[in-house]
Amino acid sequence: VCKAIESCISQKGVDPSEYEILAINDGSKDNTLEYIQRYKEIPNLRIIDKPNGGLSQTRNLGVVEAKGEYVLFLDGDDWLDECALILLKEHVHGFDIIAFPMVLYYCKEESRVILQELKEGVYTRDEMLRCTLGKGEFSIIPAPAKAYRRSFLLDNNIWFLEGILHEDN
């Protein structure tokens, strides 16, 4: 959890006033809330503590509570590269969804795997849907590897499905 929050706080090239961090504790039974509380003095961080409702419900709450134009999702074991937000800021250009590479690190094997190689480009809704539903290049891009225009999600009533497995996809 700390690494996820630290990676958000230490973004280079963007002022903290340009983005907000929502740290949502989803009824964890461990010390997650205590860890999050360590950052309560960070001006652009807002802590939300709620009963356990699952990952999808928590992400949906984040969309509702967010104030920014775009939303990104990080789980407690995820983190952002220190230049992630400045790169996104330079490339969003009003798109509804921006997908970007995600790298997986496996501590036990000490290996690094790029989850999905992306070809840079602009895709229509139908192209993205075709690629996502089939075995195309976007078939496995989890939620934390995308930035979403918040109004696009709200205006189109797009929500993470609650009570399912593999809600990242």
Q: What does pTM read for this prediction?
A: 0.83
Distance CA 33, CA 48 (A): 9
What is the structure's pLDDT at 168?
63
pLDDT per position as a tens digit, 40-85: 999 999 999 999 999 999 999 999 999 999 999 998 888 899 999 9
Residue with tokens 């989803």, as numbered in its chain: 26
C-beta of residue 19 within 8 angstroms of C-beta of residue 85 = yes
Which amino acid, 103?
A: V
In the chain, the DSSP E strands lie at 21-26, 45-50, 70-72, 97-99, 103-106, 111-114, 146-149
Question: For residue 91, how many other CB atoms are within 10 A of its CB?
Answer: 12
Buried b (16+ CB within 10 A) or exposed e, 134-151: eeeebeebbbbbbbbbbe
Lowest mean pLDDT among 65-74, 104-113, 120-129, 154-163: 104-113
- Reported as a pLDDT band with limits 50, 70 and 90, residue 111 is low
Distance CA 88, CA 25 (A): 26
Lowest mean pLDDT among 13-17, 43-47, 107-111, 149-153: 107-111
Average pLDDT over the chain, rounded to an integer: 84
The DSSP symbol for 143 reads G
Quick check: 145 pLDDT over 70?
A: yes
Q: To the nearest 10°, the Cα dihedral for 110, 114, 115, 116?
A: -170
Quick check: 151 pLDDT over 90?
A: yes
For the chain, what percent of residues have pLDDT higher than 90?
53
- Reported as a pLDDT band with limits 50, 70 and 90, residue 106 is low
Quick check: 103 pLDDT over 90?
A: no
Quick check: 109 pLDDT over 60?
A: no
What is the structure's pLDDT at 169?
60
Question: For residue 80, how many other CB atoms are within 10 A of its CB?
Answer: 18
What is the structure's pLDDT at 144?
80
